[in-house]
Amino acid sequence: MPHLDAQADFARARRRGQLARLGGWLLRVPDDVGVILPYEEVVRELGFASERELGREVVSLDTIVGTVDRTRDFDRSFRPTSPRTRGRWEGIATAMRRGQAMPPISLYRIGEIHFVRDGHHRVSVSRALGRTDIDANVTEVQTRVGAERAIELADLPQKGHERLFWERVPLPAPARAEITVTDPWQYAVLAEGVEAWGFRAMQDREELLDRETVARMWLEEEYRPVVALLREFGLTTGSGTDTDVYIHVAAERYRLLRTRAWSDEVLERLRLQR
């Protein structure tokens, strides 16, 4: 009896969602971890670049974690969160249990994750029935900062800081992995430091340099050599990333000697301070 089975499917899916929220509360997991990702907010923080139609594909259901709509009827795993969806949900579940073909859903793809444009209930029912993939018409959206599968709502502010940094310091993609900070606010501090470095470089060369050139020169002539020195003096050990340490000692260098030179004296004084 497909209809009765569909009713049981809905009740079971809701119960699983409620148990997941209870488990999160007991483990003190932040409330937004299980929240479905809103497409507009993600694109705003990551920075829209372009989009293109990819056509029909088979997509893993685990990668579908967001929505274009402002719906709160499903959680991040597309389990129903309210009884409002019951009628339509059970109708689709009944049809699937009878073997009826479903039209492909419509998705936006950003990095490793997908956002539903059309087909929320089909995604929810498919997951509840234990399916692992689904047919979808996919539109790929390119953003200035990528999205990993584990991205959560709480990560969006940091992604926004990161995007602004890459706009101000446009390093090539392969080099970006070298720049990581623990505190997202430090992206702004570092960007100002790079711009100040570039201003001094233009004064020395008596020529105007674009942002791409300044970023490349800073990486090759300042950041990489300084990080190598800091590692040699043992200043990068302990907590924080190489970039965290670079920001800290760069500020201390100017406070100590008000000089642009990286001398043994400066490094030794910085080492003794840590």
CATH number at residue 113: 3.90.1530.10
The per-residue pLDDT for 30 is: 60
Looking at the fold, whether 128 and 173 belong to one and the same domain comes out as no
Residue 162 lies in a domain: no
In a domain, 8, yes or no: yes
Give the model's pLDDT for residue 262: 61
Do 261 and 196 share a domain, yes or no? yes
Q: Are residues 77 and 145 in the same domain?
A: yes
Residue 32: predicted pLDDT: 62
Residues 110 and 244 in one domain: no
Six-digit token string for 149: 């599968």
User: What does the pLDDT look like over 70-80, one tens digit per residue?
Assistant: 778 898 899 99
- Cα 29–chain centre separation: 19
Rounded CA gap, 196 and 268, in Å?
25
| Nearest alpha carbon to residue 179 among 154, 170, 150 | 170
pLDDT per residue as tens digits for the range 116-153: 999 999 999 999 999 999 999 999 999 988 888 888 88
Q: Which residues of the chain have pLDDT under 70?
A: 24-33, 236-239, 253-274
20-58 burial, b at 16+ Cβ within 10 Å, e below that, comes to: bbeeeeeeeeeeeebbbbbbeebbebbbeeeeeeeeeee
Res 66: pLDDT: 92
130 and 219 in a single domain? The answer is no
Reported as half-sphere exposure (CB side, CA atoms, 13 A), residue 176 has a value of 16
d(CA 223, CA 228): 9
pLDDT at position 270 is: 61
Residue 164 lies in a domain: no
The one-letter code for the residue type at 18 is: Q
My answer on whether 117 and 250 are in the same domain is: no
Q: Would you state the pLDDT for residue 4?
A: 83
Residues 92 and 144 in one domain: yes
Q: Examine the domain organization and report whether 146 and 21 are in the same domain.
A: yes
pLDDT at site 269: 66
Domain boundary among 88, 122, 153: 153
Range of the domain at 32: 2-153
- Specify whether the CB–CB gap between 235 and 262 falls below 8 A: no
**What residues are paired with 107 via a beta bridge?**
116, 138
Q: What pLDDT shows up at residue 71? A: 74
* Domains of the chain: total: 2
**pLDDT on residue 273:** 58
Compute the distance between CA of residue 17 and CA of residue 34 in angstroms, rounded to an integer: 9
Q: Is the dihedral of CA 113, 115, 120, 122 positive or negative?
A: negative
pLDDT at 211: 94
Return the pLDDT at 22. 73
Q: Which of 127, 153, 179 is the last residue of a domain?
A: 153
Domain boundary among 153, 179, 199: 153
Residue-level pLDDT at 263: 66
What global pTM score does this model have? 0.73
20 and 89 inside one domain: yes
CB crowding 197-230: b at 16 or more within 10 Å, else e:
bbeebeeeeeeeeeeeebbbbbbeebbeebbebb
Same domain, 148 and 246: no
Regarding whether 250 and 124 lie in a shared domain, the answer is no
* Angle between helices 156-168 and 39-46 in degrees, nearest 10: 30
